[in-house]
DNA sequence: CAATTGCTTCGGCCGATGCCGAACCATCCA
DNA sequence: TGGATGGTTCGGCATCGGCCGAAGCAATTG
């Protein structure tokens, strides 16, 4: 029903995100991994049949994409723009929040390194951005970033050739997630870096959630590749 | 009702934007000017009392701010973050749209120069960004921008001292509005430039809509200040 | 002091939508 | 082939929220 799946209006998109159950599902998918319908129903605390309805609506509205695999159906965000829109909404929602930071044991892992849609977040990601910036590999200015010649060389040495300046996707963007509000690498470079680090076995995903575990190789690799200070885990230094 | 006006949730924010009438009002306010309740009712095609309810909700949700002046009440977007969120939603809504571009007579003025929340948009804004970029006043990369030393000098000469690199607000961002999808100056610099240009009388606002009229002085002033090519009105050259 | 205009509050109507129980497909496994 | 499990569709219920008419303030105007 409705239109032939052509163009949404702002109100339609907003309405889709403007439901608690759907928002919860979208938040769960912000981790970047595809989840099954059942998992999404559980995270939203609704019955599977209700979840199914919501998912269908979000597919119709082009917020999600599906991939069926066996008897499972894996849902994921349809595009980076969806993630971006969610972030923008989160920024508004967080306004007066001053959320409780229980800082539990599992929280500590998330705080160190986690995924945020398609790139890394947490202390590690911030430390990398800081180090690159401090070494003139990249110029950070008001939340935007530009890579220098030297920066390209460094990234190239990690196996990340940043050749084309083509895409109009930002290299770096401040991403208002819960945890330190400091710039980190997102965008095209951020996505490439996450993929490469997973590839090298420097970090591994945790099955259930968005947390990333830093391996021994990773500890060493990151420190050497980006010349991280020894105390990078301590958080914002200045 | 609800909480004591503290923290919204994502769903609440989305829900506020997810209504046709409210979305229309927000869109009207994207021009950057404050509008009265009556004007907003008219643009949303609803009765004043219905509009009043919507406006109260958006105030409560911290999407809008009011200022009463005499017997009028002027509503405006509460912050740049609200405008940013709307842009993000527009990007999703526009997806399949491929909107009709009627290109009427009034449309031509909008296409040349208009406001977009707190900065300029249209051919003029794009031409300025292009010129600054071509003269190494600023480095554009993937939609982000960084000002060079030379750029600071140029802006300083127009009366725009860009001293503190302080704020974490992007200098430039691609802004997916209807019309050319090319980078232009937004963010802190964009806002300052708009204010300065209005101040100098280079451009003047059109009362009813978002269009900006380029004055004779402006024609001359912009060309000299940013060394615009003579044919900048022609649009994207390369 | 009326009269007018801009805006809000109140009350009731009604359509839209989220929710679940039950039944129905599809896939995997023994 | 029968039974589990994951997922969807259907039908009905209940609630929520947008809408407007009528009435009530507030400020400006004569």
What is the reported pLDDT for B76? 96
Decide which of B148 and A126 is more confident.
Answer: A126
pLDDT at residue A168 is higher than 50: no
* DSSP-assigned states of every residue in B212-230: EEEPHHHHHHHHHHHT--T
* Cα B110 from Cα B125, distance rounded (Å): 12
Task: Residue A180: name the closest of A84, A113, A80 by CA.
Answer: A113
pLDDT at residue B105 is higher than 90: no
The residue of chain A nearest to residue B10, with distances taken between CA atoms, is A93
Handedness of CA B14, B16, B18, B23 (dihedral sign): negative
Task: Residue A232: name the closest of A64, A112, A101 by CA.
Answer: A112
Contact B126, B236 (CB under 8 A): yes
Contact A43, B35 (CB under 8 A): no
**Average of per-residue pLDDT across A187-216:** 90
Of A3-7, B14-18, B122-126, B207-211, the poorest mean pLDDT is in A3-7
Contact A82, A94 (CB under 8 A): no
Q: Which residues of A touch B23 (CB under 8 A)?
A: 9-11, 14
Shortest-distance nucleotide from B47 CA to C1': D20
pLDDT at residue B10 is higher than 90: yes
Handedness of CA B229, B231, B236, B238 (dihedral sign): negative
- In eight-state DSSP terms, residue B4 is S
B8 — pLDDT class (breaks 50, 70, 90): confident
Contact B25, A14 (CB under 8 A): no
Q: How many CB atoms lie within 10 A of CB B163?
A: 7
What is the reported pLDDT for B98? 52
**Average of per-residue pLDDT across B55-83:** 95
Max avg pLDDT among A52-56, A144-148, B211-215, B227-231:
A52-56
Q: How many CB atoms lie within 10 A of CB A165?
A: 13
pLDDT at residue B220 is higher than 80: yes
Contact A146, B145 (CB under 8 A): yes
The tokens 């997916």 sit on which residue?
Answer: B176
* Cα B211 from Cα B96, distance rounded (Å): 26
Shortest-distance nucleotide from B57 CA to C1': D17
HSE-CB at B189 with a 13 A cutoff on CA atoms is 31
Q: Do A14 and B23 touch (CB under 8 A)?
A: yes
Q: Which residues of A touch B190 (CB under 8 A)?
A: none
Q: Which residues of A touch B4 (CB under 8 A)?
A: none
* Cα A181 from Cα A176, distance rounded (Å): 6
What is the reported pLDDT for B210? 84
What backbone phi and psi angles, to 5 degrees, belong to B101? -110, 85
What is the reported pLDDT for B106? 63
pLDDT at residue A61 is higher than 80: yes
Of B8, B88, B174, Cβ closest to residue A93: B8
The residue of chain B nearest to residue A98, with distances taken between CA atoms, is B7
Task: Residue A83: name the closest of B117, B10, B26, B17 by CA.
Answer: B10
Of B10, B95, B170, Cβ closest to residue A143: B170
Percent share of chain A, pLDDT over 70: 81
Task: Give the domain ranges of chain A.
Answer: 10-94, 105-234
pLDDT at residue B56 is higher than 80: yes
Shortest-distance nucleotide from B50 CA to C1': D19
pLDDT at residue B28 is higher than 60: yes
Of A5, A10, A186, which to mutate for an interface test with B (greatest number of B Cβ within 10 Å)? A10
Contact A123, A112 (CB under 8 A): yes
Q: Do A165 and B84 touch (CB under 8 A)?
A: no
pLDDT at residue B162 is higher than 70: yes
pLDDT at residue B2 is higher than 50: no
Handedness of CA B41, B45, B50, B51 (dihedral sign): negative
Pick the CATH number of B10-94 from 3.10.310.30, 3.90.420.10, 1.10.10.10, 3.40.50.1370: 1.10.10.10
**Through-space separation of residue A70 CA and nucleotide C29 C1' in angstroms:** 13
Percent share of chain B, pLDDT over 90: 46
A188 CA: distance to closest CA in chain B (Å): 9
Of A60-74, B74-88, B90-104, the poorest mean pLDDT is in B90-104
Q: In A103-186, where does DSSP find H-type helix? A: 105-112, 123-134, 149-157
Confirm whether any atom of chain D, the nucleic acid strand, is less than 7 Å from CB of B21.
Answer: yes
pLDDT at residue A179 is higher than 80: no
Of A91, A98, A137, A142, which to mutate for an interface test with B (greatest number of B Cβ within 10 Å)? A142
The interface predicted TM-score (ipTM) is: 0.84
What is the reported pLDDT for A190? 87
Q: How many CB atoms lie within 10 A of CB B180?
A: 15
């Amino acid at each position: 029903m409705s239109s032939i799946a052509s163009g949404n209006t702002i109100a339609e998109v907003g309405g889709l995100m403007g439901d608690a159950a759907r928002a919860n599902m979208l938040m769960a998918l912000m981790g970047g991994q595809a989840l099954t319908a059942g998992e999404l129903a559980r995270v939203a605390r609704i019955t599977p049949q209700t979840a199914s309805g919501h998912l269908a609506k979000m597919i119709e509205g082009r917020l999600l994409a599906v991939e069926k695999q066996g008897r499972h159906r894996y849902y994921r965000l349809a595009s980076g723009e969806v993630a971006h829109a969610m972030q923008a909404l989160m920024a508004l929602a967080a306004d007066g929040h001053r959320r409780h930071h229980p800082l539990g044991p599992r929280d500590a892992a998330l705080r160190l390194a986690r995924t945020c849609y398609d790139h890394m977040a947490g202390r590690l990601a911030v430390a990398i951005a800081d180090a690159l910036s401090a070494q003139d590999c990249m110029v950070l200015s008001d939340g935007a970033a530009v890579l220098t010649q030297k920066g390209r060389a460094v990234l190239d040495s990690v196996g990340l050739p940043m050749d084309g300046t083509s895409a109009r996707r930002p290299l770096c963007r401040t991403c208002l997630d819960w945890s330190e509000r400091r710039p980190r690498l997102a965008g095209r470079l951020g996505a490439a870096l996450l993929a490469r680090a997973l590839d090298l076995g420097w970090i591994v995903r945790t099955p259930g959630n968005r947390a990333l575990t830093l391996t021994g190789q990773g500890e060493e690799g990151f420190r050497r590749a980006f010349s991280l200070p020894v105390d990078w885990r301590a958080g914002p230094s200045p």
